[in-house]
Structure 1
Amino acid sequence: MKAFIRDVAIAVVAVLTALAACGQEGGTGVHAGSGPRIGLLLPDAITSRWESKDRPLLEEKIKQLCRDCTVEHANANGDVAAQQRQVDSMITKGVDALVLVAVDASALSAAVRKAHDAGVPVISYDRLDEGPISGYVSFDGREVGRLQARALLQAMAHRAAGDQIVMINGDPTDPNTLLFEAGALSVLKGKVKIGKTYDTPMWRSDIANMNMSGAIADLGARNINGVYSANDALASGIISALRANKVSPLPPVTGQDADLGAVHRIVGGEQYMTVWKPTSAEASAGAAMAVAAARGENLHRIATGTVRTRGGNVVPAVLLTPVSVTAGTIKDTLVKGGVYTVQQICVPRLRTACHRAGLTG
């Protein structure tokens, strides 16, 4: 755990250094709104982080770097065609750079090319888009999957031969889903039997709930010893299905995003773990790239590495380190990291559980 936190700290320092450099170059003192225009296109409101965390942080970080920048925001609400129109609209408005989280990376590739051809650099945020992007900011997706799988095996430490899990992956159109799954399988294969595997369009918890109910019906509750859940929203639907089918005790369930509801479930013993991806560091890097791109500056001085897109292009990238969180590490990760306070986590019904987890004071 100390190594994970150390890596995150190093990444944050690197990003803040880049931010400082951008800020020094961009301190023009021009009134807000008269400078570069940056488009921010988010994929949906189903995953709470986009509007509640990423958007306000990105807007705040961009304003810190570029006082005269304007941010134009739109959310596609899971509609590919709507997001394609939003890209067209941003081009028409004359934005100087575009931060894009694609609903469907493949379907948006033509829109990305259209922006590129119009002279609008596209920063691929959190999900690696297809097409001629200029930069990429995200977390190491394979490591996310590995952290989830390792935690699941740890929770199943007393597993017997033949123990099996259900694997509920994310949206198959999200490039990150394949990375999470590949990372998880690299750890799980040969260690447990994978009884059922499902994909979950649009990361919808109700679909995860339905699939989990189907797995229980097909495999039998007693034959499910663990559940790989790609994120916290899916975990919520999975756990509801387990409860509805009177599965007791609950098998360990993984997650991702460190949603407050998931943290409550972890403290309460319903969900085993989540993966914390420090959004502030990701937003800082995304903002630094967006502002630099809008000003026509070189993105390699912000990047900590590179990635190769599906089209074969090598682009500057910032890949941050995710952190595994269980009940025993919440205080040293999410609380110490300023994500949540003990008061937010330890609601009245969880006070006893919080005491057991060392979440007091």
Structure 2
Amino acid sequence: MKIRLIAAVSLLATLACVPSLSGSDAALIASVPAQAQVAKPRIGVSIPAADHGWTAGVVWWSRECAKLHPECEWTIATAETPEKQIADIETMMAKGVDGLVILATESAPITPVAEEAHSRGILVVNVDRGFLKPVADIFIEGDNNAFGRKSAEFMVEKLGGKGNAKGDIIILEGIPCTVNTDRVQAALKVFGTEKGIKIVGQQAANWNRQ
């Protein structure tokens, strides 16, 4: 996650600072006083609040990544709920950000506001938890199918091995997002090949093992 977040923030900072100028544009800018040329690209980072260790790391690394690019003006906001995150993103758009890095609290409710940002010409980088529509200019994620598959294969091995596994399993899912969907579906595919394994319960647990 640290690597993906650094990549997202650094990539957006780089893209925001790369000019796209014709010869006449460059000549025009050269004639503008230096003070008028120093406006920094404005980038907003919207991420979940630090309510446990993993998200605390996300928040910490987002701030560290911003320090790597002082040539940009950063706004970093954390949200406990989708409603708060939507409000944060709307505020960033109102302030005229040039780019957004979004790690969604939940995929479905954040998709419309991300789509609105994209329609306004704001560069949108989506990290980890995908939107439900292809509205991000750049999407950076881990291999969540492999995450779910490997976890299920580990359990199968502990329950007797491939073809011989036996046991009743309860699946406690994460939050409603593409990460959760990919992991759970991949795990269910593995469990489905084992006749001795039964799924006796399955419900959302918001990543909380307690």
SS in 2 for 1:202: coil
Q: Identity, % of aligned pairs? A: 21
Determine the C-alpha separation between the residues in 1 that align with 2:42 and 2:191: 45
1:187 equivalent to 2:190? Answer: yes
**Which residue of the partner structure matches residue 39 of structure 1?**
44
Q: Is the 8 A contact 1:59 1:71 kept in 2?
A: no
Which one of 47, 54, 59 corresponds to residue 49 of structure 1? Answer: 54
Matches within 5 A, 1:90-109: 90-109=92-111
**8 Å CA contact 2:159, 2:166 repeated in 1:** no
Do structure 1's residue 63 and structure 2's residue 70 form an aligned pair? no
Contact map agreement 2:174 2:204 (CA 8 A) in 1: yes
Of 197, 201, 204, 1:197 maps to 201
Given residue 115 of structure 2, which amino acid in structure 1 is its aligned partner? R
Inter-CA distance 185–69: structure 2 relative to 1 (3 Å threshold) = same
Residues 134-178 of structure 1, C-alpha deviations (whole Å, 9 max, x = no match): 11111011000011111112222369664222222212x211111
Determine helix, strand or coil for the equivalent of 1:139: coil
Q: Is the 8 A contact 1:76 1:103 kept in 2?
A: yes
Which residue does 2:143 correspond to in 1? 140
Q: Provide the secondary structure at the position in 2 that maps to 1:199.
A: strand
Q: TM-score, normalised by structure 2?
A: 0.73
The change in CA–CA distance for 1:193 and 1:82 in structure 2 (over 3 A counts) is: same
Classify the secondary structure of the residue corresponding to 2:206: helix
Q: 2: distance between equivalents of 1:34 and 1:194?
A: 60
Unpaired runs of 5+ residues, structure 1, are 1-10, 27-32, 206-233, 238-361
Residue 178 of structure 2 corresponds to residue 175 of structure 1: yes
Structure scoring higher RCO (CA < 8 A, sep ≥ 6) equals 1
CA deviation vs aligned residue, 1:263-301 (integer Å, no higher than 9, x gap): xxxxxxxxxxxxxxxxxxxxxxxxxxxxxxxxxxxxxxx
The size of the alignment, in residue pairs, is 180
Provide the rounded CA distance (Å) in 1 between the counterparts of 2:129 and 2:45. 14
What does residue range 211-360 of structure 1 map to in structure 2 within 5 Å? Answer: 234=209, 237=210
Partner of 1:262: none
Which residue number in structure 2 is paired with residue 164 of structure 1? 168
1:181 and 1:158 map into 2 onto residues whose CA distance is 20
Deviation at 1:34, TM superposition (A): 4.8
Given the superposition, is the C-alpha separation of residues 117 and 128 from structure 1 closer, same or farther in structure 2, using an over 3 Å criterion? same
Q: 1:56 to 1:46 in 2, by over 3 A?
A: closer
Residues 187-241 of structure 1 deviation map (CA, whole Å, 9 limit, x = unaligned)? 22132422323222533x2xxxxxxxxxxxxxxxxxxxxxxxxxxxx2xx1xxxx
- What SS is found at the alignment partner of 2:91? helix
- Aligned residue type for 1:147: K
Which letter maps to 2:189?
A: S
Aligned with 2:147: secondary structure?
helix
Distance 1:156 1:96, change over 3 A: same
Q: Secondary structure at the match of 1:129?
A: coil
Q: Measure how far apart 1:117 and its partner are.
A: 2.0
Moved over 4 A (4+): 158-162
Once residues 165 and 72 of structure 2 are traced to their aligned partners in structure 1, the CA distance between those partners, rounded to angstroms, is 59
CA distance in structure 2 between the partners assigned to 1:174 and 1:197 by the alignment: 20
Q: Provide the C-alpha distance between the structure 1 equivalents of 2:186 and 2:39, rounded to a whole number of angstroms.
A: 45
